[in-house]
Structure formats: C-alpha cells, structure tokens
Amino acid sequence: MSPSDVSTAPPSDTDIPCSSVQLTVNGTAQTLTVDNRTTLLDALREGLHLTGTKKGCDHGQCGACTVTVNGRRINSCLSLAVMHDGDDVTTIEGVGTPDALDPMQAAFVEHDGFQCGYCTPGQICSAKAVLEEIRQNVPSHVTKNLMETIPISETEIRERMSGNICRCGAYANILAAITQVAEGSA
C-alpha cells in the first residue's frame, strides 16, 4: 500500500455507525440518534442539554457523572448510551427543583455539603442511591453480618460514597447531610 492509497479525509456522517436510543430521562420519553461510541454522559449533556451531570475525570474515578439508571447508580462516563435503550435515567435535574428541593438537596444546603459545587450533583445522586441500597439490604465491603439487616452507619455511608470525590474536602458535611436524611426517613 502506498501513501497515496491512504485517505486523509475525515469520515463522512454516513461512515459513522449511529443508533436510535429511546430513554426515559427524568420522567420524560426521549429519542436520540447517537454515534455508537457516545457515552451516556455525553448523550445527556450534549444531546439533551442536561448539564447538571458533570464530566470530571471521564474515567470513572471521581463520581461527578453519577446518575441512576433503572434505580441503580452508575458512572455515566463509563457507559455507552446505546447500552441503555429503553432504560429509565434520573439525573440531578430530575431530583428536585429550586422551589421544591428533594430532602437530600435540602440537607446538602443545610449542612454546607458543597464548596465549589462541581461534584455536588453526583454526590446527591449517589447519596440517594446509597440510602436505597442500605434499605434494600445490599451489602458493601464493610458490612459485618450478611444475615442481619444492614444498619445505616457512618462506616457504611463512607464506604458506599467512596467513589465520589470532593476536591474541596467537604466530606464531613456531606456525611452529616446524608445522615440527616437517613434519620429522617427511618
């Protein structure tokens, strides 16, 4: 093959494999046509303009992109949009509104569970899922007895939230907010 046989022209839109993806996002049915390589994070941010979900590390290490899919939390940067055809996705925009805060959002405000706020959407989505995991008796790495109901404890919350990084270091305030919501809903 000679150098003249290699095309340097960018691929045309017809060369890029795309798929139609149907999602229910924050209770609203959505249909997107996406490049098959598009992450769920990019589909939400760029396709649906739901920019509350943040792109932090884009490697699944910081948790800023945490959303829930069919009730389970995931790092949306690690998941392709095409994998979620027919799924129910909840982003921070679906958690509450400025006029009607979710209890977790209100607790984060009350306990100053944020500083710069960049990680806060992922922290809140994850925190809500953490409490649901504990209520459903899903064990974590620190669960001591798998034969008993898992108690909501600082150790359980810290372990389960360990995938969400706060560069500002508001961990004590985040823990206080989650604990307040856990005690209020117990």
What domains sit in the chain, N to C, each tagged with a CATH number?
Answer: 17-94 (3.10.20.30), 103-184 (1.10.150.120)
pLDDT at 16: 86
How many Cα atoms are found within 13 Å in the side-chain-facing hemisphere of 12?
A: 1
Residue 153 φ then ψ, to 5°: -135, 165
pLDDT at 125: 98
pLDDT tens track, the chain, 186 positions: 444 455 444 556 668 899 999 999 999 999 999 999 999 999 999 999 999 999 999 999 999 999 999 999 999 999 999 999 999 999 999 999 999 999 999 999 999 999 999 999 999 999 999 999 999 999 999 999 999 999 999 999 999 999 999 999 999 999 999 999 999 865
Beta 18-25 vs 66-69: how paired, if at all?
unpaired
Element (H, E) at 28: strand 28-35
How much is the pTM?
0.89
Answer yes or no: are the C-beta atoms of 40 and 76 closer than 8 Å.
Answer: yes
pLDDT at 6: 53
pLDDT at 8: 46
CA distances from 138 to 46, 124, 130, 154 (A): 33, 19, 10, 16
pLDDT at 9: 47
pLDDT at 15: 80
Gyration radius of the chain over CA positions: 19
